[in-house]
Amino acid sequence: MTAPVFREFLEQNPDVEIIMVSRKNFESLFADIPNVTFKGVNLDEYKGLFGLRRLANELINEFNPDFVANLHDVIRTKILDKINRRKGLKVFKINKGKEEKEELTDVWNLNKVQLKKTVERYADVFRAMGFKVELSHKLRPLQVPKSGIGLAPFAQHKGKMLPLEKTYELAKILAQKHPIYFFGGGKKETETLEKWESEIPNTKSLSGKLTLSEELTKISELELMISMDSANMHLASLMGTRCVSIWGATHPYAGFLGFGQSEDDVVQVKDLTCRPCSVFGDKECYRGDWACLEELNVQKIVQTVNL
């Protein structure tokens, strides 16, 4: 979710350069953004306090930054912040709004409200440095021929994933009118999606066949992506592709709707007062019946796709 923010921030502040430090496999997400230098790091090489101190020293020696932006705020980056401050660097970190999110996900709280969007929380870090940045919250479709629908049925946690039999039914319906491309990863997901490909005409599984860069290119060529509240929604945003997103235990109110995606393309069971019960979908169902996903109507998704 940081990449679209970087793009618009740097367009409005063209004399700034961002050094993005992250895991090496995320480099493709930032490849086409001017003034972003990606520094891929293997975190296994920088374990513990001494490892993080060595990492901080290496980054300072290589890049000599004017500011440090902590956009993650986890234990590792908190330690790096302390090290960087001791070395005299100006450090700014994201406010994740943890207390607000805890209140939002309290199943007894009936007054659910939209929290600040995560992309605005990222932008706030740059604003705190003194920069001006106004996010457009609009998709930027690439000017390429577009055809077919992408379908990403999987998510990291059960609370974010439509039951597979429902997604299978959805694929069968949509494949009658559109070429369908399945997205996934890992052995088990690939086996499932290849089985679907063999059973449903006009579908093709791309699971395990593409690099991240190739996957991004394919997503940019789709008319539409259908995704759970998962990474594929954000990849669609990055490539300017409309995404119909399916939400269960989580909710767009927590601020994680894809950059530029329309709330009209959100599919969810609206009348469950227990939603959202989780920010990330990693909790067991309070009711025990996963109604937020079991009660979702496949036809509702089809209607949203055809809007």
Amino acid at 267: V
210 inside domain: yes
Q: What is the pLDDT of residues 222-244, one digit of tens each?
A: 999 999 999 999 999 999 999 99
Is residue 18 located within the same domain as residue 123? yes
Report the C-alpha gap between 192 and 166 in whole angstroms: 14
* Residues 250, 201 share a domain: yes
Neighbours of 208 (CB within 10 A): 14
Rounded Cα gap, residues 137 and 259, in angstroms? 6
The overall average pLDDT reported for the chain is 97
> Is the distance from CB of 165 to CB of 129 less than 8 angstroms?
no
Average pLDDT over residues 32-46: 96
Average pLDDT for 80-103: 97
C-alpha span between 68 and 91 (Å, rounded): 5
Is the pLDDT reported for residue 170 higher than 90? yes
**Structural domain total, the chain:** 2
pTM above 0.85, yes or no: yes
Token representation of residue 76: 């590792």
Please check whether residue 134 lies inside any domain of the structure: no
**Tens digits of residue pLDDT in 93-108:** 999 999 999 999 999 9
How would residue 144 be classed by pLDDT, with cut points 50, 70 and 90?
Answer: very high
Q: Does the pLDDT at position 128 exceed 80?
A: yes
Q: Which range marks the domain in which residue 193 is found?
A: 149-305
Residue with tokens 């060529």, as numbered in its chain: 221
CATH number of the domain residue 34 falls in = 3.40.50
Residue 81 and residue 199 share a domain: no
For 31, half-sphere exposure in the C-beta direction (CA atoms, 13 angstrom radius) is 12
- Which of 68, 101, 129 delimits the end of a domain? 129
Give the type of residue at 87. K
State the Cα–Cα distance between residues 51 and 229, nearest whole angstrom. Answer: 34
Residues 6 or more apart from 249 whose CB is under 8 A from it? 157, 159, 160, 275, 276, 277, 278, 281, 283, 285, 290, 292, 293
Residues 66 and 166 in one domain: no
The answer on 178 and 120 residing in a single domain is no
Residues 77 and 213 in one domain: no
Q: How many CB atoms lie within 10 A of CB 106?
A: 13
**Average pLDDT of span 154-158:** 95
Whether residue 15 sits in one domain with residue 109: yes
Q: Are 229 and 197 in contact (CB under 8 A)?
A: no
Q: Which of 72, 95, 129 is the last residue of a domain?
A: 129
Q: Give backbone dihedrals phi and psi of 236, rounded to 5 degrees, phi first.
A: -65, -45
Residues 261 and 124 in one domain: no
Other residues' Cβ atoms within 10 Å of the Cβ of residue 4: 24
Residue corresponding to tokens 């039951």: 163
Q: Does any domain span residue 113?
A: yes
CA distance 170 to 298: 6
Q: Residue 66: count other Cβ atoms within 10 Å of its Cβ.
A: 10
CATH of the domain at 260: 3.40.50.2000
| Rounded Cα gap, residues 298 and 142, in angstroms | 29
pLDDT in tens, 276-306: 999 999 999 999 999 999 999 999 999 999 9
pLDDT at 225 (0 to 100): 98
Phi–psi pair at 72, nearest 5 degrees: -115, -45
Contacts of 112 (CB under 8 A, 6+ apart): 104, 251, 253, 275, 276
Residue 48 CB neighbours (<10 A): 9
Asked if the model's pLDDT at residue 307 lies above 80, the reply is no
